[in-house]
Structure formats: structure tokens, C-alpha cells
Amino acid sequence: MTERKATNITWHEHNVTTEDLEALHGHKGCTIWFTGLSGSGKSTLANVVAAALHERGVSTFVLDGDNVRHGLNKNLGFSAEDREENIRRIGEVAKLFSDAGVVNCTAFISPYREDRGKARDLQPERFVEVFCDASLDVCESRDTKGLYKKARAGEIKGFTGIDDPFEAPENPELDLPTHELSVEEAVQTLITMLEDAGIIPKA
């Protein structure tokens, strides 16, 4: 699915560079890649982080797993092949946002290390992997969308954590035990890390 089909194409350099855009925004562009089981807090944190950064004048955007499947990736299912293509496309889109000097937050289960690694390889200096580290028991007890119940009943096949694996990050930039931290604590931990890394100015 990733085979190049387009021919007679040429890469064009832009007159306005990423550095120009970062200077305009007053901060660097990067991708904050939230990964974890369904119910681990990815979307919640991505949105609260984006709101907190927005209040500080940081240009942000949230790429949410369900939302993207309504448009860009609406032709993809949940087979291993489709999951791989889903993350490949998001990795490319996330890089475009980083290139534009935007701090973009992606909220995807992205269960396979290899796929996340490929997304990182697109922008290794601007990729911040955040593991929403909550156990299956905790996530299943939340089950805000009722998906675990359907998976246990056999109504959903290939559901991550039930009959499809989740490969936890081995060296994420940040490991957030979301079953122990409040949302506010998790957000502040991440924002402090972004400040210390020089991605956003200190408050």
C-alpha cells in the first residue's frame, strides 16, 4: 500500500522555511504522539494539552484517531495492514504540521512499535512519544465507548488488548501513569518537559 505510484514529480523547496514559521509562532514545531490502549486517556490529554498551550499563545492542532477515520482514513479498517497504513498517513500529516511550526498532538492507539518507529523516523528531532500508561484492567473498567464490552462479546474482532496485541513503547520521551495522575498533573508534566526541551518558551 505504500508503494510509490506517482511519476514525473519533483520536490519543491518553499520560500518560507520551517525556521521562518517557528520564528513567527514564537516556538518550535513538534509532534506529541500519544499512544496507549483505548481508554488510557490519549484523546483527553491531547485536547487538554492543546487547550493549555493555546492559552499560552502556542499554535496547536489535535489529530484524533476517530476523527481522522471520518475523512482522510475513512477507507481503512482495523486489519494489521490497515492499521499500518493509518499510522503511516498520520505520521506524514503530523510531519507537515511540525514543518509548519505547529505543536500537534496525535491521539492514536498505534499499537505496533514498528509503525510508531516509522512515524518517528520522519521527524526524529521533533517527535515526542507519550505513553498513556494504564493497564488493560483500568482501561476496561472505564470503557467509555463500550468497546471492550463488545470485544469481549465477540462483536468486535481484532480489538487491541483483547485479541490483538499492544506493544508498549520501550523508550518513550514521557511515560504517564494515567491511572495514578490527575489530568492536570499529567498535562503539567508534559508542558514542563516541552519547556525544558526548548520547544516552547517557559511561562
Burial of residue 180 (number of CB atoms within 10 Å: 0-12, 13-18, 19+): exposed
Reported as type and span, the H/E element at residue 87 is: helix 80-99
> DSSP state, 160?
B
- Rounded to the nearest 5 percent, the helix, strand and coil shares of the chain are 40, 15, 45
pLDDT in tens, the chain (203 residues): 566 677 888 888 889 999 999 999 999 999 999 999 999 999 999 999 999 999 999 999 999 988 999 999 999 988 889 989 999 999 999 999 999 999 999 999 999 999 999 999 999 999 999 999 999 999 999 988 899 999 999 999 989 999 999 999 999 999 999 999 999 999 999 999 999 999 999 98
Residue labelled with grid coordinates 517557559: 202
User: Which one of 43, 110, 135, 182 is the catalytic residue?
Assistant: 110
Q: What does 24-73 look like in DSSP terms, one character per residue?
A: HHTS--EEEEEE-STTSSHHHHHHHHHHHHHHTT--EEEEEHHHHTTTTT
Question: Using CA of residue 15, residue 71, residue 108, residue 166, what is the dihedral sign?
Answer: negative
Report residue 32 as a C-alpha cell: 506529541
Question: Using CA of residue 111, residue 107, residue 117, residue 200, what is the dihedral sign?
Answer: negative
Annotated catalytic residue 110: yes
Whole-number Å distance between alpha carbons of 146 and 142: 9
Which pLDDT value is given to residue 4? Answer: 67
What CATH number should be reported for the domain whose range is 19-135+168-196? 3.40.50.300
Whole-number Å distance between alpha carbons of 177 and 121: 26
pTM: 0.92
